[in-house]
């Protein structure tokens, strides 16, 4: 008689939270304990050669636990939320087919929710003329001005998107122009096919900001500047969406002689703190998230008990 499948209900574990809060370390622990495989929920980890600045799991960590949706694209290739949705759902099905627990881990809220919340993404055709006009406008006015334009038309979409993410900001404006609706209005939402546990990691803001500052310094010590130099030598520039990621854009400015290195590092720290604040604001709107303060003693045991109570069949 064949054994029953563990993953009979479309089980899915989702771990979210701001950058630098400790998602990677916790996800590795849980993957070991619950036969998990990790699906990156970070929009920038899909790019090859961008390892330090996007805080990818190390090769050693990936050898211990299977990781997915990492190193899929070259830095000059486009990657969209609908492509992420398709690939992530395919990967979840494959992991479930092995009786392993799929775990989405990351901080890109729009990408993660496109998978978990049954979004039917908008079928709005691209308008090359409009995109060219918006790109020219952004070249003249700057990314912040473009982002503010979106905020005036669709505040919720602007809260989701980083000001440096020019391509997706323009896409949101394009959807508004073509449909006359906000991004949320055109994103139809159907029932989720998954039985999920959401874990949100947090800590007091000042402690988080201190960790962010220290992490940026650690990235510099680990060779972030050298990583950006190699990318520049390979022909990648600030015009590519990938090079608008935190850490890369600022160090590109330094390498182009537009600021001192100390200023570039300070800009990375400032930008990352602002990004963490936006991430928390995004995820705080989701009532299904079980929040855990990682600065409190015994937080890991609490999470392990919570997951084991819902998904006992996976416990090794």
Is the pLDDT at 222 greater than 90, yes or no? yes
Q: DSSP for 158-225?
A: HHHS-TT-HHHHHHHHHHHHHHSS-HHHHSEE---S-EEEEEEEE--HHHHHHHHHHHHHHHHHHTHH
How many alpha carbons lie under 13 Å from residue 255 in its C-beta half-sphere?
Answer: 20
- What is the reported pTM? 0.83
Q: Detail the residues annotated as belonging to a binding site.
A: 17-24
Q: Detail the residues annotated as belonging to a binding site for substrate.
A: 19-24
Q: Are 212 and 164 in contact (CB under 8 A)?
A: no
Is the pLDDT at 2 greater than 90, yes or no? no
Domain 11-121+188-314 sits in CATH at 3.40.50.300
> Which residue has better confidence, 228 or 9?
228
Q: Is the dihedral of CA 251, 252, 257, 263 positive or negative?
A: negative
Rounded distance between C-alpha atoms, residue 111 and residue 283, angstroms = 12
**pLDDT classification of 116: cutoffs 50, 70, 90:** very high
Residue 86: CB atoms within 10 Å: 14
Class of domain 128-186 (CATH, top level): mainly alpha
Q: Detail the residues annotated as belonging to a binding site for ATP.
A: 17-24
Which sequence spans correspond to the domains of the chain? 11-121+188-314, 128-186
Residue 57 DSSP symbol: P
């Amino acid at each position: 008689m064949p054994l029953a499948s563990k993953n009979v209900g479309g089980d899915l574990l989702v771990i979210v939270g701001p950058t630098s809060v400790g998602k990677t370390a916790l996800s590795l622990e849980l993957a070991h304990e619950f036969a998990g495989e990790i699906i990156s929920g970070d929009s920038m980890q899909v790019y090859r050669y961008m390892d330090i600045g996007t805080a990818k799991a190390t090769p050693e960590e990936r050898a211990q636990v299977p990781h997915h949706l990492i190193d899929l694209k070259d830095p000059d290739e486009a990657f969209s939320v609908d492509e992420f949705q398709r690939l992530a759902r395919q990967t979840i099905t494959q992991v479930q087919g092995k009786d392993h627990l799929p775990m989405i881990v990351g901080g890109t809220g729009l990408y993660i929710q496109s998978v978990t919340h049954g979004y039917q993404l908008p079928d709005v055709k691209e308008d090359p003329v409009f995109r060219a006009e918006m790109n020219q406008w952004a070249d003249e006015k700057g990314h912040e001005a473009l982002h503010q334009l979106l905020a005036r038309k669709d505040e919720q979409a602007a809260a989701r998107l980083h000001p440096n993410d020019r391509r997706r900001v323009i896409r949101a404006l394009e959807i508004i122009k073509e449909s006359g609706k906000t991004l949320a209005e055109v994103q139809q939402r159907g029932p989720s096919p998954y039985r999920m546990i959401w874990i949100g990691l947090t800590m007091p803001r000042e402690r988080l900001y201190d960790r962010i500052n220290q992490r940026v310094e650690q990235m510099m010590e680990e060779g972030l500047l050298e990583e950006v130099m190699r990318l520049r030598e390979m022909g990648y520039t600030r015009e590519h969406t990938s090079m608008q990621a935190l850490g890369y854009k600022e160090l590109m400015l330094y390498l182009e002689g537009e600021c001192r290195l100390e200023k570039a590092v300070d800009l990375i720290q400032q930008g990352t703190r602002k990004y963490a604040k936006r991430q928390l604001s995004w995820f705080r709107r989701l009532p299904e998230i079980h929040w855990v303060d990682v600065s409190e003693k015994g937080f890991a045991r609490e999470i392990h008990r919570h997951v084991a109570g819902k998904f006992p069949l996976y416990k090794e």
